[in-house]
Amino acid sequence: MRSDGSARSASRPCPVTAAREAAVPLYGQSDTPVPHLLDQLRQRFGSLAPVEVAPGVLAWIALSYDLNRAVLQDARAFPRDPRRWKEAKEGRATPDKVPGPFWYFRNALASDEPDHSRYREVIVSALDTIAADRARVTVDMIAHDLMVDPAATGEADLVGDLAFRLPLLLLNRYFGLDDTHGRRLVELMRQVWDGGAEAEAAMGGLFAYAQTVTLERRAAPGQDIVSRMIAHPNGLDDEEVAHQLILMISAAHDPLMNLIANTFHELLTRNSSRVAVMSGNSRIEEVVDAVLWKAPPIMLMPGRYPAEDMELGGWQISEGDCVIIGYGAAHTDPHILAHMDPASSFGSRAHLSFGTGSHQCPARNLARQIAVDAVTTVIRLLPDMALSVPADRLRWRTSPFAHGLEALPVAFTPVQAVPRDTPPSGEQRCPHTPSPSSSPQETTGTWRGIFVMPDRWRESWSRIWRSGR
Ligand code: HEM
């Protein structure tokens, strides 16, 4: 709805000034856990709250289930491309102040039509290959092998030992690379997370990983999903392919890590869930669905940028404002909870954790299944595991965007397990790596020497990883 500009509205306080004055800081250290902050915002503002994502940088958070769904499902009124963001156009939001998810990259998630479909179709085709393959077996194998060493000690951190590593090792295999590169990818991600002097170089290394595999597969295609993406009739150029790979790496790593860890958390802290699973009355699938509702891996994510000035949630908002999607807030909306049984461990598939509308997660079923398989494998291997610290001492990440644990320490009876996927030579084998006859030596050779990143890619890459945690 356009502002009418009448004398009556001119006498009212300027809506932009009112929003800026009311905006609540979403940056910096806060003792208030993000779910509580979202509840407070809802109590104070209703279904839409003005926030500052950096000093002086305005955005809005959609807090009700209906408003989030309405915004996500109307791509025409609420486009996705962050280049529309007024705060950036007018110079208040800059990449050094505002984290990566607020910026444009040449990928499906940040694009509107026609680029969105061009990119998304290529990603969907690649994901179909994974789903059609024996992903379940591969997840089981990776999860099992990751737990072999901790299993022998009787202690593990289900975040650091398993959930942090599994998504990247899995994707790396489907990119057609052996586990040496997968472990390098995990190590680079670890350095990025640790921050400090090595983080910037590690960001470059992550981007160079995507760039290198793209260039190598262009030169010598194999059976892997990168080769499929390059060969797709939509004809993505090398930079576009690399950007979709980076999107897949970042989209898979963090939320999948949180979903796996949050599912373990539910099983380890809620006796009724655990008993229901162990007695066969409930399946891991149902626990995962419940977790997707109660502890969504993504709490908030920017954004949508209204195509015109409009009234939304009782506020007058401007064309190009940023509306942050409140996945977590939608699930605690009292109007929705009134129709649900919060004590039930059976999840509602109506959750918004994977989004809805044209950008909804193309890996929805795959991601859910990976979490189910990873959790199942570990429970089979370590059936008596229990938290090794009191539940109230577990630390949740402070990021407003991600909802996950820093660590999930468990103890159990030590188990001597044998790795399932390590050939006797100790050299890692990858079923998806193209055979030497179809691929040059460097496809699986030492890569570090050729991790070179063009300058024009460097800035956009580092923005991706500068998101708050
Ligand atoms: C538990 C795990 C996951 C969760 C909770 C999740 C959640 C989401 C959400 C909420 C969106 C929509 C964002 C929006 O509407 O703005 C999305 C999009 C996307 N996700 Fe996922 N995701 C997960 C796993 C994965 C995995 C494993 C992959 C790929 C390997 C993936 C790839 C993507 C891509 C490519 C998009 C962009 C789609 C588009 O813009 O059309 N996600 N995801």
In this structure, what token pair is assigned to residue 289?
């669905």
- Output the CA 362–ligand 1 centroid distance in Å: 6
HSE, side-chain direction, 13 A CA sphere, residue 389: 12
Ligand 1 binding pocket includes 49 (Cβ within 6 Å): no
Give the pLDDT confidence score for residue 350 in this predicted structure: 85
Ligand 1 binding pocket includes 252 (Cβ within 6 Å): yes
Q: Which residues have a Cβ under 8 Å from the Cβ of 446 and sit 6 or more positions away?
A: none
State the DSSP code for 28: S
| Residue 269, pLDDT above cutoff 70 | yes
Top-confidence residue, 199 or 428: 199
| Residue 469, pLDDT above cutoff 70 | no
Q: Are 273 and 347 in contact (CB under 8 A)?
A: no
Cite the DSSP H helix spans in 333-429. 334-337, 364-381
- Output the CA 422–ligand 1 centroid distance in Å: 31
In this structure, what token pair is assigned to residue 451?
């991790």
pLDDT band at residue 445, thresholds of 50, 70 and 90? very low
| Residue 196, pLDDT above cutoff 80 | no
**DSSP H or E run through 4:** none
| Residue 251, pLDDT above cutoff 70 | yes
Give the pLDDT confidence score for residue 133 in this predicted structure: 75
| Residue 10, pLDDT above cutoff 70 | no
Amino acid (one-letter) located at 313 = G
HSE, side-chain direction, 13 A CA sphere, residue 279: 7
Ligand 1 binding pocket includes 174 (Cβ within 6 Å): no
| Residue 432, pLDDT above cutoff 70 | no
Ligand 1 binding pocket includes 256 (Cβ within 6 Å): yes
Residue of 185, 201, 250, 205 whose CA lies nearest to 401: 250
| Residue 433, pLDDT above cutoff 60 | no
Ligand 1 binding pocket includes 248 (Cβ within 6 Å): yes
Residue-by-residue DSSP string for 301-327: EEEE--SS-EEETTEEE-TT--EEE-H
Q: Which atom of ligand 1 is nearest to the CA of 296?
A: 5
Give the pLDDT confidence score for residue 6 in this predicted structure: 44
Q: What angle do CA 110, 115, 116 make, to 5 degrees?
A: 55
Q: Which atom of ligand 1 is nearest to the CA of 109?
A: 40
- Output the CA 357–ligand 1 centroid distance in Å: 12
- Output the CA 285–ligand 1 centroid distance in Å: 19
Ligand 1 binding pocket includes 79 (Cβ within 6 Å): no
Ligand 1 binding pocket includes 82 (Cβ within 6 Å): no
- Rg of the chain, C-alpha, whole Å: 23
* 3-state secondary structure (DSSP) of residue 369: helix
- Output the CA 118–ligand 1 centroid distance in Å: 16
Cα separation, 79 vs 36, whole angstroms: 29
Minimum CA distance residue for ligand 1 atom 11? 361
Q: Mean pLDDT over residues 350-359, rounded? A: 95
Q: Mean pLDDT over residues 105-131, rounded? A: 95
Work out the mean pLDDT of the chain and round it to a whole number: 86
Q: Which atom of ligand 1 is nearest to the CA of 370?
A: 27
Q: Mean pLDDT over residues 137-142, rounded? A: 94
- Output the CA 367–ligand 1 centroid distance in Å: 9
Minimum CA distance residue for ligand 1 atom 41? 359
For the stretch 52-71, pLDDT in tens is 999 999 999 999 999 999 99
